[in-house]
Amino acid sequence: MSKRNREKRINPLPLIVHSLRTDFQCTDEQIELITYALRNMVPESVQAHADKALAGNYKMPEIKFALDMEDGAEPEEFAFTKHPVICLHHFLVETYGRDFGHIYWSAITSSSPREFFQYLPLLKRLINHRKEVGA
């Protein structure tokens, strides 16, 4: 038996809950939403919205952005499409606030609790950076 097979599988859920409490100051209700999302369960309101987004019936404001070109060319303006994933992200941010909306969206779109746990430090850096910059 190889060393890789002998390694114990650690359940990341208690580590996720600890990180959500200490690093993100999430409430018990928010932690419950995240743990349910990691088990592929969401509240009916989120499911209803996801169904609307998939059907193309979600009204989302057009979000435009521009990229500065390194060669000094005039920045071109872009807009996000109304893809269901972007509509779901917009809904979660509008419903739960920007910071928790990002965390919740990451939990919903993660393929496993382990993947979400690996993504948490990046989320923490993003949220802290936004607070430092004042964005």
Give pLDDT, residue 103. 94
CA distances from residue 134 to 31, 36, 120, 124, 127 in whole angstroms, order as listed: 26, 31, 21, 15, 10
Picking from 40, 41, 39, 17, the residue whose alpha carbon sits closest to that of residue 30 is: 17
Give pLDDT, residue 99. 92
Asked if residue 108 lies in contact with residue 33, where contact means CB atoms within 8 angstroms, the answer is no
Give pLDDT, residue 131. 86
- As beta bridge partners, residue 79 has 64
Distance CA 87, CA 82 (A): 6
Picking from 125, 122, 100, 110, the residue whose alpha carbon sits closest to that of residue 12 is: 110
Task: Note down pLDDT in tens along the chain; length 135 residues.
Answer: 556 655 567 889 999 999 999 999 999 999 999 999 999 999 998 899 888 888 888 777 777 777 777 777 777 788 777 788 888 888 999 999 999 999 999 999 999 999 999 999 999 998 898 888 876
Give pLDDT, residue 81. 76
